[in-house]
Amino acid sequence: MRNTDLAAELTEELNCKTIFTIPIFGGIPITESVIVTWIVMAILVLLSVIFVRNLKVENPGKKQLVLETIVTTFNHLFEEVLGEKGKAYVPYLITVILYIGLANIIGIFGFKPPTKDINVTAALAIMSIVLVQISAIRNKGAKGWAKSFAEPVAVIAPLNVMELVIKPLSLCMRLFGNVLGAFVIMKLIEVVVPLIVPIPLSLYFDFFDGFLQAFVFTFLTALYMQEGLE
Amino acid sequence: MISFNIWSLVFTIVNLIVLFLLLRKFLINPVNKVIQEREEMIHNTISSANQTKEEAMQLKKEYETTISGVEAECEDIREKSRQEAKNEYTRIMNEADLKSNRMIKDAEKSIEMEREKALSDMESQIADLALAAAARIIGDSSDDDKNQALYDEFLKKAGETHDTENC
């Protein structure tokens, strides 16, 4: 009896519900993940607006120092991988790492993490691979980009073309699997031992794993871009 | 669990682009701008400090050369003034020597002249006295012939005494 309850509850939790439907084009469903993404966006933009106000060149306050440290840490992290040519793509990567980071830990505020929805991670991965290809085309030109598939030898060209799908698929699935796994485990633990025990485990599964996956996702995107920027 | 929903995918892509634009406007660009401004400020400050230092060093060198020049010049001037003072001293001493010698000579000369003058005065006075004495001795009985004879005799005698003195 209890087992079926738990299973039903979990399935319920794992389903990405459609909150409402926009009644055009035969109904556009707005899912929970999209709503939570909006919340994440709102939080990020609001925090930015609040903390970025009154930036001072001289004698920055503590808040400004923390903010600058965060931004410069990410800047250095990605610039080191991308090099001078890839500077223009750093802001996008910072956006993605902030978004995934907050999306992964938003579960502790009672929302379902949007990264638990495979459509969101797929969208992120598609954006990444598109950006990787755009940066490569902009760097090498369309011809150079097309030729780069036949490098280092022409025989492996099919493999290189397959990578166009494999890379984003691995990005998408890694993020989705990690967040889903963490979410399921945390739910199970909360059902079994609802007191105290979930706290350290939540620190690991939500915070550590969440930030780690955000880092891995963006870092891998940067690495793929660096291949095209060489 | 894995349900593909093309709308969620599209919405997420749109959301990501919007979030990227918003964060770039509100977070990344302002922070980067401030950091860049600070870097520029620091760079400017350091370069201006270096420039000031260089200028200061240049000035210091100039001052040092000037000071050493001044010292040498001082030594020169001191030496020169010492020399001049010495020269002036010797000149004044010599002049004083000469002057005093001349004065002594002048004094001697004038004394001599005075003496001679006194002597001749005395001579003439003696002659007058003699004349007066003779006149008194002779009294009224005197005429020109006698007088003349007496004169001559006296003068002769006086001349003799004078001559003997001179000889």
pLDDT in tens, A147-179: 888 877 888 888 888 888 898 899 999 999 998
Contact A60 B34 (CB under 8 A): yes
Count of CB atoms situated within 10 Å of the CB of A168: 22
Q: Tell me the HSE value of A16 on the side-chain side, using a 13 A CA sphere.
A: 26
How distant is the Cα of B57 from the closest Cα of chain A, in angstroms? 29
Residues 6+ apart with CB under 8 A from A172: A118, A121, A122, A124, A125
From chain A, the residues in CB contact with B27 under 8 A are: 44, 48, 52, 71
Q: ipTM score of the complex?
A: 0.84
Contact A56 B34 (CB under 8 A): yes
Contact A71 B27 (CB under 8 A): yes
Percent of chain B whose predicted confidence (pLDDT) is above 70: 90
Q: Which of A59-63, A136-140, A225-229, B119-123 has the lowest mean pLDDT?
A: A59-63
Residue pLDDT, tens place only, A102-139: 998 888 887 888 888 888 899 999 999 999 999 989 88
How distant is the Cα of A216 from the closest Cα of chain B, in angstroms? 18
Q: Which of A21-35, A191-205, B77-91, B150-164 has the lowest mean pLDDT?
A: B150-164
Distance CA A132, CA A128 (A): 6
Q: At what angle do helices A209-229 and A90-105 cross, to 10 degrees?
A: 160
Helix (H) or strand (E) holding A21: strand A18-22
- Average pLDDT over every residue of A36-55: 88
**What's the angle, vertex CA A32, arms to CA A27 and CA A33, rounded to 5?**
110
Distance CA A95, CA A102 (A): 11
Q: Quick one: closest CA in B to A56, which residue?
A: B34
Reading the block at residue A167, the tokens are: 């890379």
Higher pLDDT among residues B40 and B132, named by residue = B40
Residue pLDDT, tens place only, B106-126: 999 999 998 898 888 888 888
**In whole angstroms, how large is the CA radius of gyration of chain A?**
21
pLDDT tier, A220 (very low <50, low <70, confident <90, very high otherwise): very high
Q: What are A31's strand-pairing partners?
A: A18
- A67 close contact with B: CB closer than 8 A: yes
Query: What is the pLDDT of chain A when averaged over all its residues?
Result: 85
User: Which residue, among B97, B32, B3, has the nearest Cα to A118 in the 3D structure?
Assistant: B3
Distance CA B38, CA B122 (A): 118
Q: Quick one: closest CA in B to A93, which residue?
A: B20
How distant is the Cα of B46 from the closest Cα of chain A, in angstroms? 15
Contact B12 A120 (CB under 8 A): yes
User: Is a pLDDT exceeding 50 seen at residue A1?
Assistant: no
Percent of chain A whose predicted confidence (pLDDT) is above 90: 23
pLDDT of residue B164: 55
Instruction: State pTM to two decimals.
Output: 0.70
Count of CB atoms situated within 10 Å of the CB of A130: 12
Of the segments A54-63, B12-21, B48-57, which one has the largest average pLDDT value?
A: B48-57
- The B residues from 27 to 46 touching A (CB cutoff 8 Å) are 27-32, 34-35, 37-38, 41
Q: Which amino acid makes up residue A203?
A: L
Query: What is the pLDDT of chain B when averaged over all its residues?
Result: 85
